[in-house]
A and B are shown apart, each in its own frame.
Chain A
Amino acid sequence: MSMLYHSQRAMRAKRQEAMRRGVIAVLDIGSHKIACLVLRFDSSDEFRPSDGVGAMAGQSSFRVVGAATTRSRGVKFGEIDTMQETERAIRTALQGAQKMAAARVDHVIVSFAGARPRSYGLTGEVSLQTGTVGDCDVAQVLAACDVPDFGEGREVLHAQPVNFALDHRTGLNDPRGQVGNRLSTDMHLLTIDAHAIEHLLYCVKRCDLELAGVASSPYVAGISSLVEDEQELGAACIDMGGGATGLSIFIKKHMIFADTVRMGGDHVTADISQALQIPLNDAERLKTRFGGVVATGMDDREMIELEGDTGDWHHDRRAVSRAELIGVIRPRVEEILEEVRARLDAAGFEHLPSQRIVLTGGASQLPGLDGLASKILGNQVRLGRPLRVQGLPQSACGPAFAASVGLSLFAAYPQDEWWDFEMPADRYPARSLKRAVKWFRDNW
């Protein structure tokens, strides 16, 4: 835990440095595409949160100056599978974005969907010594959370304090300065497979970049596509990507659950390719051009030519009706949505006060998906597009870029995490000078 604490703190320091320089890149590594945005930050502090004004999700303090996207290679199920290929894809995207921004970028914040995220709810409780909650008490209560045994080879990706309770009052966002006896907290911990982080570090390092942060793609997609009320009242964001479908549940502006279904749009494409015996590229084109999930009588009459180049005359001159295509697509989409339903049920989504579900991600552009989803997930389903940020090109405004946009919001205004607080004095190694200094500072 301590190692992770320090490496995450180091990443936060790099993010601060990038902010000072004014340029940072965000990289969304997806199974279908890798998108890179270059953000330029103004140094003015006029959009800091103040009384009655929220942080505006940080979206007004930066401007997108470069954007590039490339087809992803070597990424499967949202995690890096072939490192050399991924590295080349990252280089392609980054070079394009740098060229558009006409600026060199050294720091990058990365998000990815896969690596089997798992959520844990943690609680911690301390009794206050001074009667007033201070910074060190918050750090102490965060450190006092009993960490579950999440197994060998797992790493903590997010550890966000979600709720603070002081004596019998709960639901505090910021307990500092309040008076009480016992401070307890609820923390949301998200762990992923450790090797995914290591692969990512290797790829980023091979591109001469420095990692200034890592985020889970369902989380950042939720930040960008849920509106403020939904985040406040409770909603689930379903980010339907190419190789993985991420889902994250938000309430009170905090993520409380995230998970990934290891299926996505690429599986639909593969189904079409197998069923109709056409190449994957053609299958992708058919899916985006004629795809849908609800067949009507009109679709029976609409024939799609399946052009081939195999040399077999009969094989090259087939035609299928659109209804057949939909018949191929729909079971897989239903399967994905049912899997999502199962994950949501497991997370206890039905106990939330509001059960809004927002579909986003590239695969959510399938026509009729919202109708199908409302049958499976409940009737409060809408299609979400990411927040509009300054300077984002029109081509990068679609739902496929929800994670990229969310990641830029995350870069501009990251949520407080466990490592943003000072480590309490008794967690330092014994006989450390830092420990003495910290103890001294806390007590006087």
Chain B
Amino acid sequence: MRPLIARRGPVPLPPRDPAPSIWSYRFQRLWLTPLFRRLMRVGLPAFAVVLVIGWYFSDPAHWRGVTDQMAEMRREIENRPEFRVNLMNVRGASPQLAQEVRQTLALDLPLSSFDLDLDQLRETVEELPAVARAELRILSGGYLAVEVEERVPVLIWQTRAAPVLLDADGQFVAPLAHRQLPGPLPQVAGEGADAAVPEALALLEAAAPLGDRLRGLVRMGERRWDVVLRDGRRILLPSDDPIAALDRVLALDEAQDLLGRDVIRVDMRNPARPNVQLSPAALAELRRMRGLDQGDGNG
């Protein structure tokens, strides 16, 4: 029953209809749809962010500004003292080589460690002939540690220009004139000797009984070795199995004192038929002795 009393003040609104309107009902159902919900909560914000970023960077000036700012920030970080390299320390190299390494790297210290390309520096150092292997490391406290493994010279190679040093792999180490050697090194000569250094070393080891009679080895025709003794006599070795041939010569020497006799060359190039070249005097003497024999025979 409607009240008949006139009320003062604002007339209270009739009670609101609790039923949702058809559109709010539909919207709520749509909102409860999982796919739509995910689209709205993830897809739409993501799309909006991408759109805004894309719109912002569609102007190249904005892009440049942002990249410049990024580069500036990067440089600031790189130039912090924590990343600075102040000193370079070369280890494992002779003072001469260390000097050479420093000159090659030519680093203008202090530098930021971000500017050092360690791999490239390592390759640069390893390109030095006297360096076998190098390792570069940035240590705390701003040290650049360069650990160098030097090539060890084992042979002196007499070339046409100047004698040079070779290591066990046949690699060039340095000209002989630039190095102070701790002790005497065996010598080799001849074209292509550096390509057969391991064989030369094996021969030299085998020739150890010759002692200081040995002058050196000569590579002949890039194929085989001659052993040159100090008085100019030669032992000609075959290209195949030279060590066995040398061993035979040494055995002959030990048994019959071959090298103590007056021979100029011992030719082992054909292992089945060793030849000996006598000195002219010895040859004459041999002939005389043979002549005596003949004379005796003739009567």
The chain A residues found within 8 Å of chain B, CB to CB, are: 70, 88-89, 91-92, 94-95, 98-99, 102-104, 207-208, 278-279, 308-311
Please determine whether A309 and B5 come into contact, CB atoms closer than 8 angstroms. yes
Picked from B1, B19, B26, the residue with its CB within 8 Å of the CB of A308 is B1
Please determine whether A279 and B18 come into contact, CB atoms closer than 8 angstroms. no
Please determine whether A91 and B22 come into contact, CB atoms closer than 8 angstroms. yes
Picked from A92, A98, A207, the residue with its CB within 8 Å of the CB of B18 is A92
User: Number of B residues whose C-beta is below 8 Å from A?
Assistant: 16
Q: Does B76 reach chain A (CB closer than 8 Å)?
A: no
> What is the predominant secondary structure among interface residues of chain A facing chain B?
loop
Please determine whether B33 and A104 come into contact, CB atoms closer than 8 angstroms. yes
Q: Which residue on B lies nearest to A89, using beta carbons?
A: B19
Nearest CB of B to A356, in Å: 39
Q: Does B29 reach chain A (CB closer than 8 Å)?
A: yes
Please determine whether A310 and B1 come into contact, CB atoms closer than 8 angstroms. yes
* 7 additional contacts (CB under 8 A) given A91-B22, A98-B28: A70-B18, A88-B17, A89-B19, A95-B20, A104-B34, A309-B3, A311-B3
Encode B128-172 as 1/0 by CB contact (under 8 A) with A.
000000000000000000000000000000000000000000000
Please determine whether A104 and B32 come into contact, CB atoms closer than 8 angstroms. yes
Q: List 8 A-B contacts (CB under 8 A).
A: A88-B17, A89-B19, A92-B18, A103-B32, A278-B1, A308-B1, A311-B4, A311-B5
Task: Give every chain A residue within 8 A of B63 (Cβ-Cβ).
Answer: none
Task: Give every chain A residue within 8 A of B26 (Cβ-Cβ).
Answer: 208
The chain B residues found within 8 Å of chain A, CB to CB, are: 1, 3-5, 17-20, 22, 25-26, 28-29, 32-34
Please determine whether B29 and A92 come into contact, CB atoms closer than 8 angstroms. no
Q: Which residue on B lies nearest to A209, using beta carbons?
A: B29
CA of A96 to CA of B30 in the docked complex: distance in angstroms?
15
> What is the predominant secondary structure among interface residues of chain B facing chain A?
loop
Q: Which residue on B lies nearest to A92, using beta carbons?
A: B19
Please determine whether A98 and B32 come into contact, CB atoms closer than 8 angstroms. yes
Picked from B5, B18, B29, B34, the residue with its CB within 8 Å of the CB of A208 is B29
CA of A91 to CA of B4 in the docked complex: distance in angstroms?
34
Q: Which residue on B lies nearest to A88, using beta carbons?
A: B19
Q: Which residue on A lies nearest to B1, using beta carbons?
A: A279
Task: Give every chain B residue within 8 A of A88 (Cβ-Cβ).
Answer: 17, 19
Task: Give every chain B residue within 8 A of A308 (Cβ-Cβ).
Answer: 1
Please determine whether B1 and A91 come into contact, CB atoms closer than 8 angstroms. no
CA of A372 to CA of B28 in the docked complex: distance in angstroms?
47
Picked from B4, B22, B33, B34, the residue with its CB within 8 Å of the CB of A310 is B4
Please determine whether A98 and B3 come into contact, CB atoms closer than 8 angstroms. no
Please determine whether A102 and B5 come into contact, CB atoms closer than 8 angstroms. no
CA of A70 to CA of B20 in the docked complex: distance in angstroms?
12
Knowing A70-B18, A88-B19, A104-B33 are in contact, say whether A95-B4 is a contact too (CB < 8 A): no
Task: Give every chain A residue within 8 A of B22 (Cβ-Cβ).
Answer: 91
Nearest CB of A to B9, in Å: 16
Nearest CB of B to A315, in Å: 10
Q: Which residue on B lies nearest to A71, using beta carbons?
A: B18
Q: Identify which of B4, B18, B20, B34 gathers the most chain A CB atoms within 10 Å of its CB.
A: B18
Task: Give every chain A residue within 8 A of B18 (Cβ-Cβ).
Answer: 70, 92
Please determine whether B3 and A95 come into contact, CB atoms closer than 8 angstroms. no
CA of A95 to CA of B18 in the docked complex: distance in angstroms?
11
Task: Give every chain B residue within 8 A of A278 (Cβ-Cβ).
Answer: 1
CA of A309 to CA of B28 in the docked complex: distance in angstroms?
40
Please determine whether B28 and A92 come into contact, CB atoms closer than 8 angstroms. no
CA of A89 to CA of B28 in the docked complex: distance in angstroms?
16
Task: Give every chain B residue within 8 A of A94 (Cβ-Cβ).
Answer: 25
Nearest CB of A to B201, in Å: 81
Nearest CB of B to A314, in Å: 14
Nearest CB of B to A223, in Å: 29
CA of A311 to CA of B3 in the docked complex: distance in angstroms?
7
Task: Give every chain A residue within 8 A of B33 (Cβ-Cβ).
Answer: 104
Knowing A98-B32, A99-B28, A208-B29 are in contact, say whether A91-B5 is a contact too (CB < 8 A): no
Q: Which residue on B lies nearest to A308, using beta carbons?
A: B1
Closest 10 CB pairs of A and B: A88-B19, A104-B32, A309-B3, A311-B4, A92-B19, A311-B5, A91-B25, A279-B1, A104-B33, A95-B20
Nearest CB of A to B5, in Å: 5
Q: Which residue on A lies nearest to B31, using beta carbons?
A: A104
Q: Which residue on B lies nearest to A278, using beta carbons?
A: B1
Knowing A310-B1, A311-B4, A311-B5 are in contact, say whether A98-B29 is a contact too (CB < 8 A): yes
Q: Which residue on B lies nearest to A70, using beta carbons?
A: B18
